[in-house]
Every structure is written in C-alpha cells, then in structure tokens.
Amino acid sequence: MHRDLPAYHAWRVMNPPQRNTARIDNTVLLPANDPARIGTELHMAMPEQAAQYWEHFEHQADIGVRGVAPTLAGAFVQAALAMTAVITDPAGVRSTQRVDIECEAPDAELLLADWLNALIFEMSTRKLLFARFEVHITAHHLHGSAWGESVERDRHQPAVEIKGATYTELSVAQLPDQRWCAQCVVDV
C-alpha cells in the first residue's frame, strides 16, 4: 500500500491529515472523558512538518504503525510510540519502570520487527505499557530502553493486545528530505 515511501511522503505533504478541522469542530470529537477517544487522533493533529511524528495506517484486519524522524533510531522510537497508541493513549502512561532491550538482525527492516517484537514480549510478560523510548543502532545491532508502568485496566482502557509485529508493509527507508521512516503492520 505505502511500499513506495517517497511517493507516499509526497502525497502526504499534498494531503495533510485532517485532524485540525476535527479539533475546531468539537462535535466531531468524542467527549474528552470518553474512554473510546484515542490518542492517535490527537497526535495526528500535529503539523505534518514536525521533525518527528508517528501515525497509524490502514490494514483491513489489523493496523499499521509508522514512525518518522531525522534519524533511524528516532524513527524506531516513533514507531514504538505508534505501537503503544494501538493499545492506549501514550500520554496516559507514566514512565516509572525501565526495561533494557538488545536486538540483532541482518538488516534494518528485520531489526525494526525485532525491536517491536521485543517490546511486545516485555509488555506481555511484565504486564507493562511503555510511553518513552531510547534507541541506539550500530550496524545490525540495537540497544534500547523503554520506560512505562504496569497496566491499569480502568485507567488505560487497553483496546487490544498485540500478538506480533509482522513483515507486512515492513519498510525502513529514508525520505527525500533525509528523514527516516520505519513502519510495519502489527497483528492484534
């Protein structure tokens, strides 16, 4: 769908997300206290030109996560934030616990899938949600940290658990403006 990332980016610049309109027209937005309201919408209201951002993209059964940033590591951080937003609003997750993560893969795309899958494993086994990330990448190796807190079902209203990061629409590439874009579909 968005295999050709430079073309996608060009299209995106011409067709910015329409959330700004939604912000003005409050009838379009759900009430602030409605647990169904999701961070995705609010986040995407940020200007597209922001140096770094994350967003979701469509997949019929599941959902795609995409991170864009000036550096490769930054794009991985943004993709991880997008993944948290599949579950809950990242703004509602406190950074009280830290988990360190190491991954190794033969190329940047498999490394992205490994990074997201490592986070899924830690979320699942430690019952955590993550809201802050730090990533360092050298060649085929990733060293990262994730900060978060234990899941509180009433407060976080977790929409869905993620089974795995897939290789569908998996892509790590540089955009024409030199920023990095990292994305894949996650199975929920």
Segment contacting another protein (CB under 8 A): 131-139, 141-149, 154-162, 175-183? 154-162
- Residue 90 Cβ, how far from another protein at the closest point, in Å? 14
78, 53 Cβ separation under 8 angstroms:
yes
Is residue 159 part of the contact set for another protein (CB under 8 A)?
Answer: yes
Q: Residue 70 or 97: which CB sits closer to another protein? A: 97
Is residue 23 part of the contact set for another protein (CB under 8 A)?
Answer: no
What is the dihedral angle through the alpha carbons of 80, 82, 87, 91, rounded to the nearest 10 degrees?
Answer: 90
What is the dihedral angle through the alpha carbons of 43, 49, 54, 57, rounded to the nearest 10 degrees?
Answer: 90
The packing angle between helices 108-126 and 72-87, to 10°, is 40
Q: Out of 5, 8, 38, 101, which residue is the one contacting another protein (CB under 8 A)?
A: 38
Q: Residue 74 or 144: which CB sits closer to another protein? A: 144
Containing 121, the helix (H) or strand (E) segment is helix 108-126
CA-CA distance, 69 to 88, in Å (whole number)? 22
Q: Out of 124, 136, 176, 177, which residue is the one contacting another protein (CB under 8 A)?
A: 124
For 166, how many CA atoms within 13 A lie in the half-sphere containing its CB?
A: 13
Is residue 99 part of the contact set for another protein (CB under 8 A)?
Answer: no
The residue ranges that bind another protein (CB under 8 A) are 30, 34-36, 38, 40-41, 56, 58-63, 86-88, 105-106, 109-110, 113-114, 117, 120-121, 124-125, 127, 151-153, 157-161, 163-168, 170, 185, 187-188
